[in-house]
Amino acid sequence: MTTSKYKILIVDDEPLNVELLSVYLGDDYDIVTSYNGKDALEKVKDECPDLMLLDVMMPEMDGYDVCRVIRNEFNMDFMPIIMVTALTDKADHQRGIEAGADDFLKKPVGKFELEKKIDSLLRIKQHHDNLLTEKNKAYYYLDYVGILVAVLDLDFKVTTINKKGSDFLGYTPDKIVGKEWIEEFIPRDYVSEIRSHYDGIVSGDVKPYEYSEFPVIISTGEERLFRWYDSPLKDDFGNNVGVLISGEDITEIREAEKQLKEYADQLERSNDLKDLFTDVMRHDLLNPAGLIKSFVDLLIEIETDDRKKDLLNNVNEATEKLVSMIEDAAQLAKLESVDDISFVKVNLNSMIEDVVSEFTHSAREKSININLKMDEDCYAVANPMIERVFVNLLSNSIKYSPDGSTITINVMDIEDKWRISFTDQGDGIPNESKASVFERFKRLHKENIRGTGIGLAIVKRIMDLHMEVIDVDDNPEGQGSVFWMTLKKHL
């Protein structure tokens, strides 16, 4: 198998100079020659060389003019151009740089210096070509992700949008890029709210990646409802340079939810409806969400550009939240269709230690200390799903606890039962909200965290199936809450 050589265009009005450079380079490169500026431009278009050796002093069209045409009219910014000249004045070199030259060689040219400069510039070009290939590959895959992905600058003008996004909106990308996103595509009633939302993302007042829902206007004039995951874009110095928006069209989903609610009222939340809801969540929503995550994971693996990898990580984090939300909703629907569960001997020590280990990284990120208090050989009668209760309670404790605080997990012996408590030092729960905190879709701290709030509803359902108590009290030692539950001992 033969390896193709780089192609070098040598341009000089002196044939002897052309012949000398050709002799130097002919063994290692494919050589194309030209003896004047106009012919050189034709050779650039026809031969597409990888690098040009360009004489400066030529009749009719000098090297500076040739360089300017290549850079400005041909838009060939990344073909290396080495000017070969007898001119040594600093001003002449400055003119060459302004025209677009990459380097200079003084006549007469030495073979060693010539080879080193060419090798260096071609390695840089190869690196650029590889990056361009990877970029095109990333855009190719991103175009087939089933969500709208776009980048807004600090004036909220669209600088980039993927093909799926332009398809959603019903325009070609050139009709979208450069347009002011809020003024052009957001319904008038939402303009003020959305502008405030984006301002908050850029300033840091709004947390990134949390979802919001608002409509956009497509080319037909119809309003389509999207679920959005937005995050700030920063440059290498940490300065905000724009906003990454990614949205999923949920118009049909919301319409389906409306129809499901009407059906639920008719069937009085029968088991038939629960089965239908579970199927919709797991198949109609979870499958496409999983597909999105798979494509994004693939893009992250092949991406070499750190900035684009950060963008993909933002999309990936938002998709993981979407998958988690769908799974939680499906899990709750499944639990509500269950009336009886089996019970086995459960080692609370091992189960709780495993749960704590699972959240070690999350706790460390907030400098939270998890204090575990329990005796050896704590065995209970429970279903293995009880681990989900411990996971949800510890997850909530970490989420709502301030940095540097302590979470205490205590397993107490109370005659024939265990009392298991999770004590945090967060904001606490007002007395008027304690009664409803375990109800589905109820959640406190709405100003800081967006979500479905079904985690504690899952906890309550599991405890109901165990016919055991789950409740919440104030932290007796100060600020915070104590979520506690009981389980039967295994005697």
CA distance 407 to 398: 8
Tell me what pLDDT residue 134 has: 63
Helix (H) or strand (E) holding 39: helix 37-47
Phi/psi at 321 (nearest 5 deg)?
-65, -40
CA distance 172 to 468: 59
Do 401 and 394 form a contact (C-beta atoms < 8 A)? no
Torsion, CA 197, CA 201, CA 203, CA 204, rounded to 10: 120
In the block, tokens 């963008």 appear at 311
Provide the CATH number for the domain formed by 143-249 in this structure.
3.30.450.20
**What CATH class does 7-129 carry?**
alpha beta
CA distance 354 to 348: 10
Query: Helical H runs in 268-305?
Result: 271-279, 286-302
Helix (H) or strand (E) holding 21: helix 15-25
Structure tokens at 153: 């600058």
- Return contacts of 375-380, CB within 8 angstroms, 24+ apart: 375/411, 375/413, 376/349, 377/349, 378/347, 378/348, 378/349, 378/411, 378/418, 379/345, 379/346, 379/347, 379/348, 379/489, 379/490, 380/345, 380/346, 380/348, 380/418, 380/487, 380/488, 380/489, 380/490
Strands (E) located in 189-311: 211-217, 223-234, 240-249
Tell me what pLDDT residue 170 has: 92
Tell me what pLDDT residue 449 has: 38
Do 483 and 470 form a contact (C-beta atoms < 8 A)? yes
Tell me what pLDDT residue 352 has: 93
Output the DSSP codes for 89-124.
-HHHHHHHHHHT--EEEESSPPHHHHHHHHHHHHHH
Residues of the chain with pLDDT under 50: 1-2, 443-452
Distance spanning both ends of the chain, measured CA to CA = 76
CA distance 231 to 245: 7
**Mean model confidence pLDDT for the chain:** 84
Find how far residue 63's CA is from the centre of its chain: 46
Tell me what pLDDT residue 447 has: 44
CA distance 125 to 80: 7
Instruction: Give helix 386-400 / helix 348-358 axis angle, nearest 10°.
Output: 40
Query: Helical H runs in 343-385?
Result: 348-358, 360-365
Do 459 and 392 form a contact (C-beta atoms < 8 A)? yes
* Nearest by Cα to 487 from 411, 424, 428: 411
- Partners of 484 in the beta sheet? 421, 471
pLDDT tens column, 358-414: 999 989 999 999 999 998 889 999 999 899 999 999 998 998 899 999 999 999 999
* Nearest by Cα to 247 from 148, 143, 142, 146: 148
**What CATH class does 344-489 carry?**
alpha beta
